[in-house]
Amino acid sequence: MSFILDALKKSETDRQQQGSAEFSSVPAGSEKPSPTRWLWMLAALLGVNFAVLIGILMRPETAPSDTIAEETTEASAPVETAPVETATFEEKIADVIEEKKKSPPSAAPPIQTKSMATIPTIDQLRLDGSLQLAELHLDIHVYSDDSAGRFVFINMVKHREQSRIAEGPVVKEITPDGVILAYQGRTFLLPRQ
Could you give all domains of the chain from N- to C-terminal order, each with its CATH number? 122-191 (2.30.30)
- Residue 172: phi and psi, rounded to 5, are -80, -45
pLDDT tens sequence across 21-63 = 555 565 665 566 666 888 889 999 999 999 988 888 888 765 5
Task: Kindly indicate the confidence band of residue 112, based on its pLDDT and cuts at 50, 70 and 90.
Answer: very low
Q: What is the mean pLDDT of residues 61-66?
A: 55
The model's pTM: 0.40
Whole-angstrom CA distances from 138 to 22, 80, 97, 164 are 82, 55, 30, 14
Q: Which residues contact 181 (CB under 8 A, 6 or more apart)?
A: 122, 136, 165, 169, 170, 171, 172, 187, 188, 189, 190
DSSP symbol at 149: G
CB 89 within 8 A of CB 97: no
- Residue 184: phi and psi, rounded to 5, are 50, 45
Which residues make beta-bridge pairs with 93? none
- Position 109 scores a pLDDT of 46
* CB count in 10 Å sphere of residue 150: 20
Quote the mean pLDDT of the chain.
75
Across 68-77, 87-96, 166-175, the highest mean pLDDT is recorded for 166-175
* C-alpha–C-alpha distance, residues 136 and 94, integer Å: 39
